[in-house]
Structure 1
Amino acid sequence: MSILKFHCRLLRCVSRCFTATTISYPATKHAFTKLDKLKDPLTEYTNTKRTIILDLDETLVHSTTQLPGVKYDFMVMVKMEREIMPIFVVKRPGVTEFLERLGENYNVVVFTAGLEEYASQVLDKLDKSGVISQRLYRDSCTEVSGKYVKDLSLVVGKDLRSALIVDDNPSSYSLQPENGVPIKAFVDDLKDQELLNLVEFLESCYAYEDMRDAVKDLLAN
């Protein structure tokens, strides 16, 4: 049973019903030469640090209540109804470097549709260096047509030009689709390089007055 099914059984509801459309990010920074990164992350456009909001499940990690087909990185214990269930967690390749590099210039926030009891334990183990400055869980999501949607204004207020969200589920950022950076869902591909490829693009977004324009340029190519 995957962690998504675990959440659904616990709350007796469906949290993810969608077909994701993603793009593959180029494997080198040369694809982003037109996005020359500024030296100072506090640009002329803003006097505050910009924000990258990250999904958790299938973006940074994959979790399952059964032993996965690959070596898992750690385990957390979560109470489900009257049982204490082990949850096995596989980290997406490159996630540690990804977080560290983002943390050099950005406020890093995790916004997950997962339950706090589960997700907080995973983040404690995943973020040993304390890069993540804010965590939002399922209770912060807005339910729209039976789906959990993440309202980015809860994180950055009205300044949506200064934030992007990385999520494998496009419906999660349907309230602010221009701010969404799609990523392929991760399950158990230990050769996956999506995060390390994506970080090159995210580091380049500081060159834009409005980071949503960087996403437009990327998707247009």
Structure 2
Amino acid sequence: MSILKFHCRLLRCVSKCFNSPTISYPATKHSYTNLEKPEDPLTEYTNMKRTIILDLDETLVHSSTQLPGVKYDFMVMVKMERDIIPIFVVKRPGVTEFLERLAESYKVVVFTAGLEDYASQVLDKLDKNHVISQRLYRDSCTEVNGKYVKDLSLVVGKDLRSALIVDDNPSSYSLQPDNGVPIKAFVDDLKDQELLKLVEFLECCDSYEDMRDAVKDLLAN
């Protein structure tokens, strides 16, 4: 068993680091409520699986109307006005393993500011094993000062302690900033390892009574 997994199970510490210079996992000495992970993924507080809400573009994939500088993984056809436009999609490295590991402990939701015609096609190809249980698109966003903002209460109601959102754009979760887990935007770095590092952090978060406390520890270091 790795040192990280040992601490996740016994001490529920967050100890590994992002490559991003502004985000790192703390070797925490903070005071927080730690819970033993139950035998099943149901929490004793809500009796429901806790929720990880994921952005799509620049978090899980990068899409472009132009051929990317690296090999693309698949293409979708999207209607724009009177034309049908090809969209080239590059998957972030590790995205398949990331989704499958998350689904073992969490309800996995994708909340994107992308239009449904585009995003639904991408998710159909990305989520071959159907681990994403809910999808929300631009029409579910709230427009604030000309920006699309994602209201997490549409997914989890008032129980915001049981959910986190992963997004490369902090403005997207400005209504509930304490629930936001920032991630470096992905474009075409095929050596990117952010998702596989992030999943180890998220696998520890469900041991917190309030998952927002895990984010506080993350951002404090």
Give the Cα–Cα distance (whole angstroms) in 2 for the partners of residues 167 and 65 of structure 1. 22
Alpha-carbon separation, structure 2, partners of 1:23 and 1:107: 28
Q: What is residue 69 of structure 1 aligned with on the other side?
A: 69
User: SS at the partner of 1:99?
Assistant: helix
Contact persistence 1:22–1:183 (CA under 8 A)? no
CA contact (8 A) 1:102 1:199 kept: yes
C-alpha displacement at 1:45, in angstroms?
3.1
1:134 aligned partner? 134
Do the aligned partners of 1:23 and 1:183 also contact (CA within 8 Å) in 2? Answer: no
User: Deviations 1:88-146 (Å, cap 9, x if unpaired)?
Assistant: 00000000000000001100000000000000000000000000000000000000000
Give the secondary structure class of the aligned counterpart of 2:58. Answer: coil
Question: Do residues 149 (structure 1) and 144 (structure 2) align?
Answer: no
- Structure 1 pair 103–148 and aligned structure 2 pair: CA distance change class (3 A): same
Residue 212 to residue 69, structure 1, CA distance change in 2 (3 Å): same
Match of 1:38 in 2: 37
Q: CA deviation at 1:154?
A: 0.3
Does residue 1:177 correspond to 2:204, yes or no?
Answer: no
Aligned-residue offset at 1:50: 0.3
Structure 1 residues 94 and 31, CA, compared in 2 at 3 Å: closer, same or farther?
farther
- Which segment drifts farther, 42-51 or 73-82? 42-51
| Structure-2 residue corresponding to 1:80 | 80
Q: Which amino acid aligns with 2:37?
A: L
**What secondary structure sits across from 1:207 in the alignment?**
coil
CA contact (8 A) 2:23 2:218 kept: no
Q: 1:201 to 1:121 in 2, by over 3 A?
A: same
User: TM-score if structure 2 supplies the norm length?
Assistant: 0.85
Unpaired stretches in structure 1, ≥5 consecutive residues: 1-20
Answer yes or no: is the 8 Å Cα contact 1:25–1:198 preserved in 2.
no
2:190 aligns to what SS in structure 1? coil
Gaps of 5+ in 2: 1-19
RMSD (CA atoms): 2.1
Compared CA separation, residues 36 and 153, structure 1 to 2 (3 A): closer
Alpha-carbon distance in structure 2 between the residues aligned to 1:171 and 1:164: 15
Q: Tell me if the contact between 1:156 and 1:163 (Cα under 8 Å) persists in the aligned partners.
A: yes
| 1:38, distance to aligned residue in structure 2 (A) | 1.9
